[in-house]
Structure 1
Amino acid sequence: MSGGNLFSLGLTGLNSAQLGMSTTGNNISNAATPGYNRELALFVEAGGLQTGSGFIGGGVTTQTIQRQFSQTLTSQLYSTQSESSSLSSYSQLITNLSNQIGDPTAGIGADFTGFFNSLQTLAGSANDGPTRQTVINAASVLADAINSMGSQIDQTRQGINTTISSTVTQINNLTKQIAQLNAQIAAVGPNGQPPNQLLDTRDQAVSQLSQLVGVNVQQASDGTDTISLPNGMTLVQGTQSYQLGTTPSPGNPSELAVTYQQPDSTKPGSFVTTVLPDSAISGGSLGGVLQFRSQTLDPAARQLGALATSFAAQVNAQNELGIDQNGNTGGPLFNVGAPNVIANTKNTGGATVSATLTNPASPPTDDYKLTFDGTNYTVTDATTGKVLGTSTTPPSATNPIGGVAITINGTMAAGDSFTIQPTSGALDSFAVATTDGSAIAASSPAIASANQSNTGTGKIAIGAASSGFVIDSPVTLTYDAATGTLTGLPIGSTVTFGNPQQSFTVTAANPGVPYDPTNGDTYTVTNPGPPATSPNGISFTVSGTPADGDTFTIGPNTGGTQDGSNATAIFNVSTSTAFGGTTLTNGYAEFVNNVGNTASNLESMATAKSSTLAQIQSQQQSVSGVNLDEEATNLLEYQQMYQASSKVIQTAQSLFQTILQALG
């Protein structure tokens, strides 16, 4: 072997060792750089020289600087990051809401109880002014708590709007960056060496993007990434990025909706903007925020609004059946707003729509959507998608749908729609209707008394009035000891009494209502008509043992007598199951528990997903991460290779000098 060949062999080894040390040094320098993929210098034997003695090696050459990169692990990492980020965002938001709501027995639930307890006290002292004011104070505390919860939900909604806006900006910045990096990567060409630094930067940007929103990533043959949303809408294709945006939701302007912008193929330079439903965005922090809003926050506003609406309706209805401290018929104690109706911002017709609840004591807890296709008017449950009613004639107040009476004024155009929120606005609009304690109708509109000449021990007490109450004139009841009955109610009256309850109709042949002095009894009398006739919707309790011929009188409470029976009836709203088959306090406790349980489940899911993410990151780093111990070993190996190659060159130089001296 000639000395010149030794020079060449040593030089290739020297260059390769230097390149290996540079690559290793770069790895060490970037050990803490986010998104950096470890690089490895790949060496191959250089082409040899054929001789009569066989092929003589030509040294070493560097084939490429290869990124230690696994597409499979990276794809898993993107997906898991997206899911983890979504769960984390949702978990944090619902935990904050759960903390705001508090314990099932505290907050609004405790204020419900406080108000009802104050009424129970008032029932025993209906004429006491300070006790009446205590009820008003309890009502004000409850109203403040409901308003405060509404304000917190509104603030959370505004905070979500801000988050959506800022997140969309970050997404757009990243997709622009990825498109620019795609252009630089493609410019290198498929035949050139891979631009590792550009690929690292691009993959790091995609990783950041996957934490903001769920994405699908596909790599083209030229090395560029095509990135799309889970619904298939493209965010990046080659060197082109497609922008997201925000706009007030057409169905609810208080909330921001995400939009998608893409070039209009029919109008160069123009863009087509599509408003995306929340369901079109999944994964990432943006998906988690939207999921929290649609699946927890908005339903919470509706559920709590329904509770407030039912409470006000039941209390007001009973108060309006009583007599206040001034002897007047009671009025509402609470005010609550009517259903919100929101016109879609894209409507082209001139119609306006209003809505009222047909049974506010048990209002719907979902929002409705009214649409018109040019022929049919359709009302749909916006939560479940269930069609509640469809007709070629417009809805009307006389034809309620889903517990809501809808009135359309003007003409809807084809494609027009309206969102009807039966109870969402109740939290902000809820208020005490009066600050005057005398306005509490604590007493029944009827009075009952035993005749002073009675000789028995029988007593009578008036009960609360019920819906449709009528008593125009006094009714005298007479006890017949021989038959054990009370006579005097008008023929045709229906009387319910007993335990278990039984119904009795007063007729000419059977005019007496049975009465057992052993335990006494409570009677409810109805003459509902239509029209209702006196007495209707009145109840009374008889106790003790009347003597034969003893009489009792029931008549209108024209003097404003304060007996407290209607305060008791208002208190009994606390045990009413008119609200969806449960009491108000139980309904609130169930709501709080549901939110708390969901928050706990999501926290567990987020923790589990975070653990899975850590495992995948560890696997990915085992391939792509820098191990300083391994790099130190490699550095030593390249150093020895460099020194040995230098020795080869030194030997070749010595041989060459020997030859020159021999020839000289």
Structure 2
Amino acid sequence: MADILSIGANAAQLYKSALATVGNNIANLNTDGYTRQVANSIENTPTAKGSSYIGSGARLVSVTRAFNEFTESNLRDSGSELSAQDPLIQYADRIVDVLGAQNSGLADAFSKFFSSASNLSSDPASTTLRNVFIRDADGLAVRFRELASQLSGIQQETDDALSLQLTSFNELGKQLFSVNEQLKKRATVDVQPPSLLDQRDRIMREMSKIAKIHVTESESGTVSIRLDNAGGTLFVDALNVATLSANFDTDTQGGVEILSDFNGAVGTTSSVTGGELGGILNFRSQILSPAIENLDALAVSTATEINAIQTNGIDATGTRGTNLFDPNVDTLGASGFSLLITEASKIAAAGLARVTANTENAGNAKLDYSDIVSGSAVPDFTLNYSDAAGYTINGAAVTPDASGSFIFGGITFKVSGTPADGDSFSVSQNTNAVGDNKSILAMSRLQNKQVL
């Protein structure tokens, strides 16, 4: 039978434990990952005395954590989403700085190139203007290569960052697996040491900062971890822990695959979202890869358009023009954008053909040409018009399409305006064309064309 002294002694011991728990909470106020603990007590079994029961005090049954799984899960998810924004913003700002800078972006280089082309079109015989054009053409090529190099540098930085984060995530997985091994020694979570559970939760919070995780807790407090959600790749369970790695230089968007090795079974996982890893992967697939692809596409289209004009023109020596920029940009991208011509006389400023309207033409029609099939020689011919036969060349009928265009000798010609009966135009190879500006003028007008 409990007496007042034993009840008081038990109460004093209970209060001592409760105060110790409170003191421990205060002492660990700033301890990372610490969860507030609560001393739980229950009433002792009362003693029956006749028809009554006399209380026998209370006793301490456990010290547990003031823990809510729903709150903890939301905390992990929120931390994961927040961590994903940091690399996305950091690297995106770098892309803006690289591509959008006024003095180091493409806009300034293009402006100088087209300005030089326009100036040269006003005086195509000028050696000085030709040299300025070559200088600015080389400046454009250098700018493409510089931007490609800077984007490649950012890609390498994200390669290193991914590898570093994966190493950290794998190490945390090993730590969590070790904690699971200790938790398996007790049957229920209620009897687990609070500090061990704090360690478990602290590890999972750190993991969620690197990648979003889905947690399943067993009765004993051991946890299974899947990447992203309940259907994601298994990373940690009671028996094994996976190892994640990166496979770079692949054809996948973003140029990287995340591989998971779980007990010898290796496969690609698409479950890595959120956290630092998810932020880096999103940046690579949504911003970096499109930026590199667009820069390469712009380099290809720029070189292709300009080379087409240059090779369809006549240089200062009367020779058909050669490529201004290296056509291997098709395979090398912007990193292979380079100038091939360094001699001023090799700029094909003049047009390949010469079109001359008969001075006695009565109509307002005009004849011009544009596309010339590579290797085609300009044929000498006369285009005649009569009300009875329409357009003819050497007696053969020529029928322009709705836009006024027709192809002859591998060259696309276009008639505009309205001819009068008896009008004619002569076409011949453009010789002694040092003062002609048709080709360089067409090059300068690319500025107003949507090349990409």
Secondary structure of the equivalent of 1:240? coil
Deviation at 1:134, TM superposition (A): 1.5
Residue 316 of structure 1: aligned partner = 307
Residue 275 of structure 2: aligned partner = 284
Q: Does 1:537 align with 2:444?
A: no
Q: Does 1:333 align with 2:303?
A: no
Secondary structure of the equivalent of 2:258? strand
> In the comparison of the two structures, how many residue pairs are matched?
448
Secondary structure of the equivalent of 2:350? coil
Deviations 1:523-548 (A, max 9, x none): x66325xxx4xxx43569999x99x9
Deviation at 1:486, TM superposition (A): 11
How does 1:471-482 map onto structure 2 within 5 Å? Answer: 471-473=378-380, 475=382
Residue 341 of structure 2: aligned partner = 434
Distance 1:72 1:32, change over 3 A: same
Residue 215 of structure 2: aligned partner = 217
Residue 275 of structure 1: aligned partner = 268
Partners of 1:540 and 1:124 in 2: CA distance: 25
Residue 492 of structure 1: aligned partner = 396
Secondary structure of the equivalent of 2:314? coil
Deviation at 1:126, TM superposition (A): 0.6
CA contact (8 A) 2:357 2:366 kept: no
Q: Does 1:444 align with 2:444?
A: no
Deviation at 1:448, TM superposition (A): 4.8
Secondary structure of the equivalent of 1:537? strand
Runs of at least 5 residues in structure 2 that lack an aligned partner in the other structure? none
Partners of 2:28 and 2:398 in 1: CA distance: 91
Partners of 2:34 and 2:164 in 1: CA distance: 27
Deviation at 1:142, TM superposition (A): 1.3
Deviation at 1:175, TM superposition (A): 0.8
How does 1:566-605 map onto structure 2 within 5 Å? Answer: 566-576=439-449, 583-584=450-451, 587=452
Amino acid at match of 2:371: S
Distance 1:295 1:192, change over 3 A: closer
Residue 527 of structure 1: aligned partner = 408
Q: Does 1:87 align with 2:85?
A: yes
Question: Could you tell me which of 40, 43, 53 is aligned with 1:42?
Answer: 40
Deviation at 1:166, TM superposition (A): 0.6
Distance 1:186 1:562, change over 3 A: same
Deviation at 1:465, TM superposition (A): 4.5
Residue 238 of structure 2: aligned partner = 238
Higher RCO (CA < 8 A, seq sep 6+): 1
Deviation at 1:255, TM superposition (A): 4.6
CA contact (8 A) 2:166 2:245 kept: yes
Secondary structure of the equivalent of 2:221? coil
Partners of 1:25 and 1:473 in 2: CA distance: 104
Deviation at 1:461, TM superposition (A): 9.4
Distance 1:46 1:320, change over 3 A: same
Instruction: Say which is worse superposed, 428-437 or 171-180, in terms of deviation.
Output: 428-437
CA contact (8 A) 2:113 2:136 kept: yes
Partners of 1:476 and 1:190 in 2: CA distance: 98
Distance 1:456 1:232, change over 3 A: closer
CA contact (8 A) 1:12 1:61 kept: yes
CA contact (8 A) 1:214 1:281 kept: yes
Residue 118 of structure 2: aligned partner = 120
Amino acid at match of 1:75: S
Runs of at least 5 residues in structure 1 that lack an aligned partner in the other structure? 264-270, 341-424, 504-523, 577-582, 588-664
Deviation at 1:95, TM superposition (A): 2.7
Partners of 1:239 and 1:502 in 2: CA distance: 74
Deviation at 1:114, TM superposition (A): 2.6
Amino acid at match of 2:396: G
Amino acid at match of 1:48: P
Identical-residue share of aligned pairs (%): 26
Residue 176 of structure 1: aligned partner = 174
Deviation at 1:88, TM superposition (A): 3.3
Distance 1:299 1:336, change over 3 A: farther
**TM-score under structure 2 length normalisation:** 0.87
Residue 607 of structure 1: aligned partner = none
Deviation at 1:318, TM superposition (A): 1.2
Distance 1:10 1:442, change over 3 A: same
Q: CA RMSD in A?
A: 3.6
Residue 513 of structure 1: aligned partner = none
